[in-house]
Structures are given as C-alpha cells and as structure tokens.
Structure 1
Amino acid sequence: MDTGAFLSYLEGRQVRWRITLDECLRAAGPDPRRRLLAVFDALKSLAADGLRCGAFVNAQFELGEPQGPCRTAIAETKRCLRADVLELARATGAVDPELLADQLLLVYEGAVANHSLGNVADPVGAAHQVARRLIAAASPRPLDAFWVDGAGSAEGRGA
C-alpha cells in the first residue's frame, strides 16, 4: 500500500467531513441539542451524496501494521470526532456529557459500519433517530420543542 496516497485520501475525506459538519452546524441554529444532532445530519448528508461511509473503519482492517502513520491518522481523526461531540454534548447541559458523547459515538460508528455492510435498511436514518432520543433523554428539558421537527411533527415521542 502507498502510505502517502492513503494518507492523502484520508485527509481529503476528513476535509469533506469537516465542511459538511460545519454546514450542518450552521443550519442547526443556536439550539445546542440541534447542534449536537448536526453530527448525524452531516452523516446523513454524506451518505445521501453517495459517499461510501466507513473509509476510516475499513482502513483499520486493511492495514497490516498495528502502529504506523496510517493508524495514527485514523486514531487522530476519531479523537477529533470525539472532541467535537463532547464539546457539543457539554453545551446541551446534559448531566453526564462524557457518557452522552460515548453513547452517540457508538451509534455513529454503528451507522457507519452498517452503511458499508448493508445489513440494515437505513442505518444512518436509524442512527439519527436514536441520537435524537439519546440527546433528548440526556437533556434537562427532555420533552420540549426539541422533539418537534421542522415540519411540525412529533418525531420520536413514542420511544
């Protein structure tokens, strides 16, 4: 494997992710819960654009070396994602933002893995719904207007 080319590919994917996330954060407005959910909006956007999710996950399995520049780049990307999610989780006022961030990252990674495998009909959409419920449950105001989407429907109230 050409390490330089692979690192360039991962960097390009990370830049595209960052641009998409920034767009979704702007669209989310000031509500910190909607901003946290924007992580999953960004994932939905990339998946809808046909971008194959899971490049970083797949790369980990294809790499033969347990240490090295490619694994370091993948680990740094995941660390940055966790830092972003944790910062957004803290802004929501969640009682335990560390736990919320960890839960959301597990949902995120599950969606990414299943999007690549095709085991679930709409893993990114399902992850978005689960994330909304986790964020609302961790919120000091779990049943307020966060449940109402832009169309005025009560998304997820039955859970």
Structure 2
Amino acid sequence: MTTRPGPRERLLDAARELTYSQGVQVGVDAILKQADVARRSLYQHFGGKDGLVAEVLRSDGGLDRYRQVMNEAGDDPRERVLAVFDELDAITSQPAFRGCRYTAAELTLTDPAHPAHAEVRAFKEGLHRLMAAELTRHGHPAPDAGADQLLVLIDGVLAHAVTRPGARPALAARALAEAVLAASK
C-alpha cells in the first residue's frame, strides 16, 4: 500500500508542475487545488507563495541533472561538455518543453526582494562553476570566460527553442561549444 505524500510534498509537486506549465504567476488557488491541501498548509510550510516558488527552484535538482548527463558521458571533459548540448537537444525537442524555469522566474518576478531571485542566481553560478571546472580539466586558457560563453549558449538554446519550436538550436550551439573547447588547444 502506498502512502499519499504529505501536504508539503504535494504543494511542491503541484507548484513545480504548474509554475513550469503556466509560469510563476499561476494562482495560489490553482496550486492548492492540484495539491489538494488547505491554504493554511501553504503558509505553514512555506510562509506563502513566494517561499513556495523559491523552494521549487531550490529543490528542482537542475544542477544534479547537468552533473548526471556529464557523468554518463564519461571522464573526458570535452565529451562531458558536449553531452550537455546533446541532452539539451533532446529536452528542447519535447512537445511539453516550456523553456528554462529559472530564467522564466527571473524575468517574471519584478520584485527585486523576491526570494526566488537568490535561487536563480545560485543555480546559474553553480552551472558556471560546473562548466569552468570542466574547461579547467580540459586545459582551457581562460575557463571562467569559456564558462561564460557556454552559459550564453545554454541560455540561448533554452530561449530559442521556445520561440522557434523545431529549430533544434542545441545542434547549432553544440558546434559553437566545440569552438569554445578548441581554444584549449
């Protein structure tokens, strides 16, 4: 017999799904309805919708997914970086793809004090560190600058795939990532 997740987990699951499919501006009532919890649970566990949105971003596991893709590609830093673009091609080709939840939240939430902004920045900094570490292992002469270039490509893929479904921008970005990697030689 399976036990039903508690209110906190149901709120996170509902918010994760709805904020991705409808954006962070989705109403609290829609989240509560899908989670099948009382409004009090939202405030008790997260202090309100702002805290829930921040926790969705914090617990999304985005960096873990990048690490997993890279680990599955083996130990060669070049192959690990290129595997990210192969995975982005697979992800952005799916009909349910709606873009990067982190960038969408950053652009939608206009209150500079919203706690989600810190989560977005932490994710982007973590991704930068991950790419810079691979470029360092690859012998890139300027791994921080190279990581900046790779992040521009990643962000570009995630945005371009939303505005031009079917364009497969990750394939173009992969070729540009190879140029970044070639600077190591």
| Cα contact 2:92–2:158 (8 A) shared by 1 | no
Q: Say if 2:5 is the partner of 1:5.
A: no
The normalised TM-score by structure 1 is 0.74
Structure 1 58/80 Cα, relative in aligned 2: closer, same or farther at 3 Å? same
Cα RMSD of the aligned pairs, angstroms, is 2.2
Q: SS at the partner of 1:87?
A: helix
Name structure 2 gaps, 5 residues minimum.
1-24, 26-48
| Cα contact 1:54–1:116 (8 A) shared by 2 | no
Q: What displacement does 1:108 show? A: 1.1
Q: Say if 2:155 is the partner of 1:113.
A: no
Q: What displacement does 1:119 show? A: 7.3
Q: Could you give the per-residue CA deviations for residues 98-142 of structure 1, whole angstroms, max 9, x where no partner exists?
A: 22111111111111111222278111222122212321x2122xx
Q: Which portions of structure 1, spanning 4 or more consecutive aligned residues, are displaced by more than 4 angstroms?
A: none
Within-5 A mapping of 1:10-159: 10-13=57-60, 15=61, 17-49=62-94, 50-118=96-164, 121-135=167-181, 137-140=182-185
Question: Which residue identity does 1:22 align to in structure 2?
Answer: R
Structure 1 120/114 Cα, relative in aligned 2: closer, same or farther at 3 Å? farther
Distance in 1 between residues matched to 2:64 and 2:106, nearest whole Å: 23
| Aligned pairs, number | 137
Question: Which residue identity does 1:23 align to in structure 2?
Answer: Q
Question: Which residue identity does 1:122 align to in structure 2?
Answer: R
| Cα contact 1:56–1:74 (8 A) shared by 2 | yes
Question: Which residue identity does 1:102 align to in structure 2?
Answer: D
Q: SS at the partner of 1:23?
A: helix
Name structure 1 gaps, 5 residues minimum.
141-159
Q: What displacement does 1:88 show? A: 0.8
| Cα contact 1:53–1:116 (8 A) shared by 2 | yes
Q: What displacement does 1:4 show? A: 2.6
| Cα contact 2:85–2:174 (8 A) shared by 1 | yes
| Cα contact 2:63–2:127 (8 A) shared by 1 | no
